[in-house]
A and B are shown apart, each in its own frame.
Chain A
């Protein structure tokens, strides 16, 4: 006995006008122990999903809304072991449209959610390889050649076709300094025009480092009067 992992996805294709699109990008897996992995059926169903989950799947192309599907395929890959991932070039594709009871050419949401799709691994080696460019008519997956640069590819997205709304914030770190100018201090000036009697008027405040460098400078928006009858507290903050 050995452990095997089966990876799956599915693909809906359209024959009724709209282009077929890429497979579902939810890749699920199931593991089992077996001496012969091919004697297994893989069941695939939309458990928990309702027809409402296919609300945009239209059965009437002329309605002009949503998308349509005419065929459903199961993508499948059998891998040895329990941790090995699938290999992009090793996928197989199997049409399972015939599993749908009452299928009349166009797939309805109810048909998808009411059907248990089944693929037997007995014929696994004979399944058609899933090659993106062949399986999805119209995707035109580009080659490695530089002259294919005029074809869009995955990873070419540049613009976000949407809006962003947000409130923003900034963290402000503040150094707070409080300087008290009591009644009997800071009442004189060495300004050559001061008369030695009148009030002094402060216009600026300098902050110095230990080497006498003026490292910050503050200016009052109004000259601040100071005399022996006025005490002041100067609060100021430097934001970082």
Chain B
């Protein structure tokens, strides 16, 4: 309970009571009459103290508000309840700007190494020690010290492979495009990073840079491999491990402090096997992992849904803001063509310059997602690069981005062994003369 802040102009702080919300939930909310009250005025006291009632403080309205116990009726002996003749309704749009959310600083020139977004940002690799295989020596970068965390089995390792000496993996220099590849740490062989003698094994074969100068050093970073939002959260700032449906329902009627989850999710969804996946038992033993065993299978229905249940694209990338925080960061949707995706570590073959990084924005007019037989009737904008090459869609009301360009999908994948895209091509056929 609190008193209303006195301020000009005179305004009415109004809210539905608990009774009103209950009736709203059952479809029975109606407004029939109003009554004006003066329950909090003590006229006798004001006369006695010569206090001007205008300066009195009034309690805020609350959900279970006490009854109005004294009224100012229309006439001195009249009924205090006055019929409301009509209830006009109107709508309007309010807009706001959100803070940039993601792994990078506002200029997209460096990873944010604060806020526990990255487990260990200061790892260094001696390039001439990389001779293929799976074993990788990790050293402390000269900048080591921001985090004392040790890489562990299961963590993701983002390596900025470069034969230049560039030990700060978290700095992204667009003018010196270098492959950023993600590996998974599958084992700790010996040592620690703090001891500057950590040896790990990774999930797939490493490049072979033996014979290159000892001055060549690469920066790397370790990420937590999952976004654990229940129990042992990876984000110390996150205070919502208690969140469940009832708490969220409560939060909609209160003003509990909620954290803004600091990054977006990406799911590359496969509803068909990749070319070259055998799906048989020959090689490797047991057969290749089929798309139905991918972790993205939980999003499988979305591929059909977002194509009006008539999918032509079998692989889609979805960039979404899924987390357990009740913070309503993006309100009811993106405002018109304002969303911007910055992907600093991609080498995009359609960029005009030899500069790493891709900025995607809305292009053209707002469109409606319709299908031949079924239609979601969902508004969207085309998502394109600065030159207008369309790579996907922005669904402003769903607050998601969908990547449709099949090459960009592979370049964004953790597994494809490349962070660059390859150009499209033309094929044709001709009958071999003399063989008809």
A188 and B73 in contact (CB under 8 A), knowing A141-B289, A152-B182?
yes
Docked CA distance A152–B159 (Å): 15
Bound together, the chains give a CA A162 to CA B411 distance in angstroms of 13
Decide if B14 touches A218 in the complex (CB within 8 Å). Answer: yes
A235–B14 Cα gap in the complex (Å)?
Answer: 11
Q: Which residues of B contact A168 (CB under 8 A)?
A: 95-98, 329-335
Set of chain B residues within 8 Å of A63, measured between Cβ atoms: 163
Which of B14, B44, B154, B273 is in CB contact (< 8 Å) with A205?
Answer: B14
* A177 and B87 form a contact (CB under 8 A): yes
> Which of A63, A148, A165 neighbours the largest number of chain B CB atoms within 10 Å of its CB?
A165
Do A222 and B54 form a contact, CB below 8 Å, given A190-B80, A201-B41? yes
In whole angstroms, how far apart are the Cα atoms of A30 and B33 in the complex? 73
- Answer whether A207 and B424 are a contact pair too, CB < 8 Å, given A136-B417, A162-B264, A167-B98: no
With an 8 A cutoff between CB atoms, is A104 at the interface?
Answer: no
Given A8-B427, A158-B226, A186-B74, A172 contacting B205 (CB threshold 8 A): no
Q: Does B412 contact A (CB under 8 A)?
A: yes
Which size class do B's interface residues fall under?
35 or more
Please choose the segment from B23-31, B141-149, B240-248 that sits at the chain A interface, where 4 or more of its residues have CB less than 8 A away.
Answer: B23-31
B268 touches A157 (CB 8 A): yes
Decide: A10 near B417, CB < 8 A? Known: A174-B91, A200-B38, A216-B20.
Answer: no
Is B295 a contact partner of A155 (Cβ separation < 8 A)? Answer: yes
Residues of chain A from 1 to 58 with CB closer than 8 A to chain B in the complex:
6, 8-10, 12, 17-30, 32, 34, 36, 39-49, 53-56
In the complex, the answer to whether B93 meets A171 with C-beta atoms within 8 Å is yes
If A43-B428, A185-B75 touch, whether A204 touches B162 (CB-CB below 8 Å) is: no
Cβ of B19 within 8 Å of any chain A Cβ, yes or no, is yes
Q: A47-B426, A88-B275, A163-B100 are in contact. Are A215 and B29 (CB under 8 A)?
A: yes
Which of A166, A176, A191, A226 is B338 in contact with, Cβ under 8 Å? Answer: A166
B427 touches A30 (CB 8 A): yes
If A43-B428, A66-B347 touch, whether A164 touches B341 (CB-CB below 8 Å) is yes
Q: How far in angstroms is the closest Cβ of chain A from B87?
A: 6
CB distance from B205 to the nearest CB of A (A): 4
Alpha-carbon distance between A12 and B162 when the two chains are bound, in angstroms: 19
Query: For B343, what are the chain A residues with a Cβ–Cβ distance below 8 Å?
Result: 161-162
Residue of A nearest to B153 (CB): A150
Complex alpha-carbon distance, A45 and B429, angstroms: 12
User: In whole angstroms, how far apart are the Cα atoms of A179 and B84 in the complex?
Assistant: 8
A133 and B409 CA atoms in complex are apart in Å by: 19
> Is the interface on chain A under 10, 10 to 19, 20 to 34, or 35 or more residues?
35 or more
Given contacts A193-B45, A214-B65, contact A157 B414 (CB under 8 A): yes
User: Who on chain B is nearest to A39 by CB?
Assistant: B435
- Complex contacts, B88 vs chain A, CB 8 Å: 175-176
Residues of chain A lying within 8 A (CB to CB) of residue B177: 56, 65-66
Assembled-state Cα–Cα distance A191/B46 (Å): 13
Q: List residues of chain B with CB within 8 A of the CB of A44.
A: 425-427
Q: By the criterion CB–CB under 8 Å, are B340 and A165 in contact? A: yes
Contact between B422 and A155, CB atoms less than 8 A apart: no
Neighbouring A residues of B315 by C-beta, 8 Å: 25
Least distance between A204 CB and chain B CB atoms (Å): 4
Q: Which residues of B are found within 8 Å of A160, using beta-carbon distances?
A: 102-103, 263-266, 319
Q: Interface with A: B191-199, B249-257, B278-286, B367-375, which one?
A: B278-286
Whether B212 and A62, one on each chain, are in contact in the complex, defined by CB atoms closer than 8 angstroms, is yes
Q: What residues of B have a CB within 8 angstroms of the CB of A193 in the complex? A: 41-45
Interface centre among B11, B206, B216, B225 (most CB of A within 10 A): B11
Q: Are A46 and B425 in contact (CB under 8 A)?
A: yes
**Minimum distance in angstroms from A92 CB to a CB of chain B:** 10
The 3 nearest A-B residue pairs measured at CB = A155-B294, A163-B102, A132-B276
Q: A54-B349, A214-B67 are in contact. List 20 more A-B contacts (CB 8 A).
A: A18-B179, A19-B417, A25-B410, A49-B425, A67-B420, A132-B274, A132-B277, A138-B132, A139-B204, A139-B205, A144-B293, A155-B268, A161-B344, A167-B98, A168-B98, A174-B90, A190-B71, A191-B41, A198-B43, A201-B54
Residues of A within 8 A of B (CB): 6, 8-10, 12, 17-30, 32, 34, 36, 39-49, 53-56, 61-67, 75, 77, 85-86, 88-89, 91, 120, 122, 130-145, 148, 150-177, 179, 181, 185-195, 198, 200-210, 212-226, 234-238
